[in-house]
Amino acid sequence: MQIFTTEKDLKLFLDSLRNNNIALVPTMGGLHEGHLSLVDKAKSLAQIVVVSIFVNPTQFARGEDFDDYPNTFDSDKLLLESKKVDALFLPSKDEIYPHGTESDYKVGDIGQILCGAFRPTHFNGVAQVVRRFFEIVNPNYAVFGEKDFQQLLIIKSLVKNLNFKIKIESIPTQREEDGLAMSTRNQYLSDLDREKAPHFYSVLSDTRDALLDGKSIYDAREDALNTLSKSFEVEYLEVLDANNLTQIETKTTEIIIISAIRFGGTRLIDNLVFRRKNV
Ligand code: PAF
């Protein structure tokens, strides 16, 4: 695996390989099995796989965990080598933002709901850095996790709006044995909170089962909010159309239960997508 820290060197390397398909997996490090599944997907799509590790300051607001974000570089590198990744891109902030961090791309309304209502600048920062990676790497494919479902839709619309010729691929949320969605931020949980955390996913699963059994969306959402708030501080829980995160209509068949909670100082997100029968 070759390591690049500059746009120039990475481009030079990739330009000699453009007769192959190239897949990009952007990350912020703190790699776990979920990231490795993204790499596996990338390898199934393309001959050349590039992984980036960059903790992007513009997607963190003041008071969030930018300074504390887990840095596990030595183990990240070993994991990526074991997966035979071709190139690891490790840029500095100046390399990504040589002209400062102003951005002219705004993600629009979809960036203001759900997580965006609690982190108003977050998705503009994500779009800004992903756009930059797309310009530098110019991959045929880019692979993202479905745990960050809202992010995934925002990146798909970025590709469309800016006419990138990049196929966005995703993989389902990878879970621990007890159901907790894999996340770098799970490291922040105390042992006791880690024991309680899988309850988040079990409430989402119970809500899906209740909806499939015919409970109304209103009642299912109310019950889920009541149950979740007994154990966690709930930021939001919504039941929406999974295609565009809008309200469910009679014609909607793909449904998402999507939620963010806080507990013990840690913010966790999760979602569950399913198809509605009998429509
Ligand atoms: O999902 C993430 O880890 C980040 O938001 C991303 C896509 C790497 C952009 O910094």
Q: 182-215 burial, b for 16+ CB within 10 Å, e for fewer?
A: bbbebebbeeebbeebbbbbebbeebbebbeeee
Judged against a pLDDT cut of 80, whether residue 143 lies above it is answered with: yes
Question: Span 137-143, mean pLDDT?
Answer: 98
Ligand 1, atom 9: nearest CA belongs to which residue? 126
Compute, in angstroms, the gap from residue 264 CA to the centroid of ligand 1. 23
Mean pLDDT of the chain: 97
Q: pLDDT of 213-236, one tens digit each?
A: 999 999 999 999 999 999 999 999
Which domains are assigned to the chain?
2-171 (3.40.50.620), 184-273 (3.30.1300.10)
The ligand 1 site (C-beta within 6 Å) comprises 26-28, 56, 59, 126, 129-130, 148, 151
Question: Span 96-122, mean pLDDT?
Answer: 97
Compute, in angstroms, the gap from residue 145 CA to the centroid of ligand 1. 9
Judged against a pLDDT cut of 90, whether residue 278 lies above it is answered with: no
At residue 28, the pLDDT reads 98
Q: What are phi and psi of 165, to 5 degrees?
A: -95, 55
Judged against a pLDDT cut of 70, whether residue 72 lies above it is answered with: yes
Of all residues in the chain, the percent with pLDDT exceeding 70 is 99
Residue to mutate, 124, 130, 184, 269, ligand 1, most ligand atoms under 8 Å from C-beta: 130
Structure tokens at 17: 């390989």
Of all residues in the chain, the percent with pLDDT exceeding 90 is 98
Residue to mutate, 39, 55, 88, 151, ligand 1, most ligand atoms under 8 Å from C-beta: 151
Judged against a pLDDT cut of 60, whether residue 270 lies above it is answered with: yes
**What pLDDT band is residue 139 in, cutting at 50, 70 and 90?**
very high
* Of 35, 99, 122, 199, catalytic: 35
DSSP string, 103-144: ------GGGTSTHHHHSTTHHHHHHHHHHHHHHHH--SEEEE
Question: Span 99-111, mean pLDDT?
Answer: 96
35 has catalytic annotation = yes
Compute, in angstroms, the gap from residue 225 CA to the centroid of ligand 1. 28
At residue 279, the pLDDT reads 52
Compute, in angstroms, the gap from residue 12 CA to the centroid of ligand 1. 24
Q: pLDDT of 15-56, one tens digit each?
A: 999 999 999 999 999 999 999 999 999 999 999 999 999 999
